[in-house]
Copies of this chain bind each other. A is one copy, B any other.
Amino acid sequence: MNSKLIYYQIYEALKKDVADNIYNSGDKLPSENHLSKRFGVNRHTVRRALQILKNEGILFSKRGSGVIVQASKLKYKIGKRVRFSQNIANENNIPKTTIIRSEYRKASKIEADNLKINSKDEILLIETTGKINNIPTIITKRIIPNKRFPSFLEIFQKELSITHTLKLLGVNDFVRSNTNIIAELADSIQANLLNCKINSPLLKTTYVNQDLNCIPIEFSQTWFVGERIQLTLED
């Protein structure tokens, strides 16, 4: 309204900078201190402008790190054959997978049921984050039967792809048996991994991939940042 207000002018200036791709998706903005010098105002005045842009979902800030430009929504196809890398690369986006945790332990009842293995058989847990265009967007937690694929982790660490890993293990094709989708709120750890706010809505998908003989290969859960992903179901 009142274009005389300093913080509003700064808000407009920064919004224009983002629109003009002076700051691109995933980029860090100059620090609040730098911006306050650039505009000749107090840091708090800059923060007020930034706050509006954060509320609009255009910017996101991380304490100690900086303020970054948010990405626009990506479409993610879900169907019988879901392949993360292909899914993303098709749209000229660059996917990147990072392992953040792996451990061997005994299967819980739910895991055993879904994998059709004996309760307390050993499983491999792999947790990964997926960045799209360098913006963290996905967390995946996979449960894999260790008995059938004892060298899974070793190969996956090099390949960073389920499709490639399974191919090297002799599984040339696999399909999803079903996918359940629910909405959850991000806890503090997820928020940190996904560069989103605590309590941001996440899409959580739970599914089982199985080979063509209908033997389960992995029981997995994937969390998507709701603001950045739009799931599309295909037949």
* Interface residues in chain A, defined as those with a beta carbon under 8 Å from any beta carbon in chain B: 4, 6, 9-10, 13, 22, 30, 34, 37-42, 64, 98, 100-101, 103, 105, 127, 129, 136, 187-189, 192-194, 198
A100's contact among B38, B42, B98, B127, by CB below 8 Å, is which? B38
Asked whether A9 and B189 contact (CB < 8 A) given A22-B103, A40-B129, A127-B38, the answer is yes
Asked if A188 and B4 make an inter-chain contact with CB atoms under 8 angstroms apart, the answer reads yes
Question: Can you give 30 contacting A-B residue pairs, CB < 8 Å?
Answer: A4-B188, A4-B198, A6-B188, A6-B192, A9-B188, A9-B189, A10-B189, A13-B189, A22-B103, A22-B105, A30-B101, A34-B101, A37-B98, A37-B100, A37-B101, A38-B100, A38-B101, A38-B127, A39-B189, A39-B192, A39-B193, A40-B100, A40-B129, A40-B136, A40-B189, A40-B192, A40-B193, A40-B194, A41-B192, A42-B64
Chain B contacts for A100, CB-based, 8 A: 37-38, 40
How many Å from the CB of A130 to the closest CB on chain B?
13
How many Å from the CB of A225 to the closest CB on chain B?
13
Q: CA of A193 to CA of B45 in the docked complex: distance in angstroms?
A: 14
Chain B contacts for A39, CB-based, 8 A: 189, 192-193
Chain B contacts for A105, CB-based, 8 A: 22
Q: Kindly list the 4 A-B residue pairs having the minimum CB-CB distance in the complex, ordered from nearest.
A: A40-B193, A40-B192, A9-B188, A38-B101
Known: A6-B192, A38-B101, A40-B194. 16 other contacts (CB 8 A): A4-B188, A6-B188, A13-B189, A22-B103, A34-B101, A37-B100, A37-B101, A38-B100, A38-B127, A39-B192, A40-B100, A40-B136, A40-B189, A40-B192, A40-B193, A42-B64
Chain B contacts for A10, CB-based, 8 A: 189
Q: CA of A193 to CA of B36 in the docked complex: distance in angstroms?
A: 10
Chain B contacts for A40, CB-based, 8 A: 100, 129, 136, 189, 192-194
Asked if A9 and B187 make an inter-chain contact with CB atoms under 8 angstroms apart, the answer reads yes
Q: CA of A136 to CA of B27 in the docked complex: distance in angstroms?
A: 31
How many Å from the CB of A222 to the closest CB on chain B?
16
Q: CA of A192 to CA of B189 in the docked complex: distance in angstroms?
A: 36
Q: CA of A198 to CA of B5 in the docked complex: distance in angstroms?
A: 11
Chain B contacts for A37, CB-based, 8 A: 98, 100-101
